[in-house]
A and B are shown apart, each in its own frame.
Chain A
Amino acid sequence: DAGVTQSPTHLIKTRGQQVTLRCSPKSGHDTVSWYQQALGQGPQFIFQYYEEEERQRGNFPDRFSGHQFPNYSSELNVNALLLGDSALYLCASSGDGFNTEAFFGQGTRLTVV
């Protein structure tokens, strides 16, 4: 079992550009969530996808959007990048329900210059 895999591991983008991050969930998991972690902080919830729909969204602007594919993999897109978007982006997968364990990938380190 490969666990949760994210790509790429590191990314440098210029302010104003757009970026796409990718996530493959753990085998058997159908729910994918995305988190942003700034340096020295805990992860902050961006949104969650289930059955190819955004089920819940955190307090992030519309510049952050996502997609889930039929094979449960997911993408996070960020448009019009700002310097403040520099962070570690984490993907978590889980089974459906409120009491399931969530497993995280290694993250994508995004630097906006």
Chain B
Amino acid sequence: SQQGEEDPQALSIQEGENATMNCSYKTSINNLQWYRQNSGRGLVHLILIRSNEREKHSGRLRVTLDTSKKSSSLLITASRAADTASYFCATVITSGTYKYIFGTGTRLKVLA
């Protein structure tokens, strides 16, 4: 079963609106990273948040982490058509593993 699950699976909003995506995971983590993927190409790194952090910002992006609920959210404010992409969360669990475990992603469509 997946360590990370994004919710919703798909999201369609109007340009200028905010988009919120959620990620839930099952086991304790070292960190959680969010990525964007356009049209099945490479993953673009957005933000890394460590297990001892609760919130991080980068431009129009805001990421929160709630380790008690094993969940994270990615907020994109004032969305643009160029934000249309799939968004993935990836976790590194605390068992000494080096691999990133990805969810199935949220497909965001921003309508102009």
Binding site for B on A (CB under 8 A): 4, 6, 31, 33, 35, 37, 39-45, 48, 50, 55-56, 58, 88, 90, 92, 98-99, 101-107, 109
Contact = CB atoms under 8 A, between A and B. Distances in A.
Contact of B98 (A40, A56, A103): A56
Given A55-B98, A99-B30, 19 more contacts: A33-B98, A33-B99, A41-B104, A42-B2, A43-B88, A43-B90, A43-B100, A45-B99, A45-B100, A58-B99, A92-B43, A98-B31, A98-B92, A104-B35, A104-B43, A104-B44, A104-B45, A106-B42, A109-B40
* Chain A binding surface SS class: strand
Given A42-B88, A103-B45, A88 B98 contact: no
Interface residues of B, number: 26
* Chain B binding surface SS class: strand
Interface of B: 2, 4, 30-31, 33, 35, 40-45, 48, 50, 88, 90, 92, 97-105
Contacts of B42: 4, 6, 90, 104-107
Contacts, number: 71
Given A56-B97, A99-B31, A42 B45 contact: no
A88 B40 contact: yes
- Of the listed residues B48, B97, B99, B100, the one surrounded by the most CB atoms of chain A closer than 10 A to its CB is B99
Nearest to B31: A99
Nearest to A99: B31
A103 B46 CA distance: 10
Given A90-B42, A102-B45, A107-B41, A45 B101 contact: yes
